[in-house]
Amino acid sequence: MNQEALLRVEKLNAFFKKEDGKIQALKDVSFQVNKGELLAIVGESGCGKSLTSLSIMGLTAKSCQVEAEYIDFQGENLLKISPARLRQLRGKELAMIFQEPLTSLNPLFTIGFQLTETICLHNPVNKKQAREIAVETLKKVEIPRPERILSEYPNALSGGMRQRVMIAMALVNKPSLLIADEPTTALDVTIQAQILFLMKHLMREYHTSIMFITHDLGVVAEMADRVMVMYAGQIVEEANVYDLFSRPLHPYTQGLMNSTIKIDQTDDLLATIPGTVPSLADMPEGCRFHPRCPLAKDECRRICPDLVETEPGRKVRCLQRGGEGSIRFRGSECPENMDKGGNDNG
């Protein structure tokens, strides 16, 4: 890849502590977000999308243990820096917005107070200047009469307005990376489209890269430069948006796409893949998708495939789709008749 990385995540693993040991929720998640790009992370509910972003932000639950070789953000390993430094980055360089803005807006304080506080904490400005920046930013997210909104409490705003305020809050310090976790899922379709358009526009204006989490492939097609598909705590496919939609390689990605086409927008888009995401406590042996996979063969029940680069910038984790239609045996357990033609860098 000739693109410059902003964030590089290497072998991210996450575990939840249980009474009888621990269960693994993320397994060897490695990827990067490049400067200026919008990387979408897609997958059904429970596949580890939120956990991936919370791990990067250092905001996982107490019961969660996060390990990685590194999470490198602009040359700093987020797992090694001090809590104070991490807080500093989170307010300025690294921002996150969530599905439900009320979880990140404090209902007890006015929008104006919360915005100006964020600005003052990270910039050498006085209250008056902070207020001006706040108004400017609210204008950018197309909030009408921003001066008036400053004195409102979050609960007084509509869902769409609250989400705009959240975006303003996230962008006010011009972060280099914005992690947006299903930022529009709670909104109706028209407002959703407006907010997505706005985010894409602001991304260019602020030179912010975005890691965009969604379960909606329509949104991915609209927004993303590159896409990472997650299933059961692992990355199963990675590609640029054009290649992914024109030639999805993983049977799971293909299933997601079929579902999107078949069902109208109000339904659960992912409902047509038979079965459900396995529970963490009961992961299938071999490929984690094999119980739901139309292509599953015997080997798929035994071997957990590696994520293999099939061409520059394209990766897939599937024994049946290691290359264009060809079968490659690559995984943690090798079958007797190893494919000779496979690329052997592992």
Structural element, H or E, at residue 203: helix 189-206
Question: Which whole-number Å values give the CA distances from 265 to 28, 47, 220, 279, in the listed order?
Answer: 33, 21, 14, 27
**274 contact partners, CB below 8 Å, separation of at least 6:** 292
User: What phi and psi, each to the nearest 5 degrees, are found at residue 25?
Assistant: -110, -25
Question: Which whole-number Å values give the CA distances from 37 to 140, 150, 204, 234, in the listed order?
Answer: 20, 31, 9, 22
Q: Is 227 in the site for ligand ADP (CB under 6 A)?
A: no
Q: Is 34 in the site for Mg ion (CB under 5 A)?
A: no
CB of 21 to Mg ion, least distance (A): 24
Q: Would you say 62 or 145 has its CB closer to ligand ADP?
A: 62
211 binds, among ligand ADP, Mg ion, none (CB under 5 to 8 A by kind): none
Q: Would you say 26 or 199 has its CB closer to ligand ADP?
A: 26
CB of 25 to ligand ADP, least distance (A): 4
Q: Is 51 in the site for ligand ADP (CB under 6 A)?
A: yes
Q: Is 270 in the site for ligand ADP (CB under 6 A)?
A: no
Buried b / exposed e across 183-205, counting CB within 10 Å, b at 16+?
A: bbebbeeebbebbbebbeebbee
Q: Is 276 in the site for ligand ADP (CB under 6 A)?
A: no
- The span of 50-58, 122-130, 163-171, 251-259 binding Mg ion (CB under 5 A) equals 50-58
Q: Is 21 in the site for ligand ADP (CB under 6 A)?
A: no
| 231's tokens | 């299933």
Of residues 29 through 48, those in contact with ligand ADP by CB under 6 A are 43, 45-48
Question: Which whole-number Å values give the CA distances from 249 to 12, 108, 271, 278, 288, in the listed order?
Answer: 23, 48, 20, 21, 16
**273 contact partners, CB below 8 Å, separation of at least 6:** 44, 252, 255, 256, 259, 292
In whole angstroms, what is the distance from residue 115 CA to residue 168 CA? 8
Max CA separation in the chain (angstroms) = 72
CB of 303 to ligand ADP, least distance (A): 23
280 binds, among Mg ion, ligand ADP, none (CB under 5 to 8 A by kind): ligand ADP
Q: Would you say 136 or 268 has its CB closer to ligand ADP?
A: 268
Q: Which amino acid is at 85?
A: R
Q: Would you say 54 or 244 has its CB closer to ligand ADP?
A: 54
- The residue from 32, 34, 50, 260 that contacts Mg ion (CB under 5 A) is 50
- The residue from 5, 13, 16, 99 that contacts ligand ADP (CB under 6 A) is 16
CB of 243 to Mg ion, least distance (A): 25
CB of 85 to ligand ADP, least distance (A): 25
| 35's tokens | 């400067």
Buried b / exposed e across 123-140, counting CB within 10 Å, b at 16+?
A: eeeeeeebbebbbebbeb
CB of 83 to Mg ion, least distance (A): 24
- The span of 46-54, 141-149, 290-298, 318-326 binding Mg ion (CB under 5 A) equals 46-54
Closest CA to 213 of 60, 8, 49: 49
**Total of residues contacting ligand ADP (CB under 6 A):** 13
Q: Is 214 in the site for ligand ADP (CB under 6 A)?
A: no
Q: Which residues bind ligand ADP (CB under 6 A)?
A: 16, 25, 43, 45-51, 61, 63, 280
**Could you list the residues that contact Mg ion (CB under 5 A)?**
50
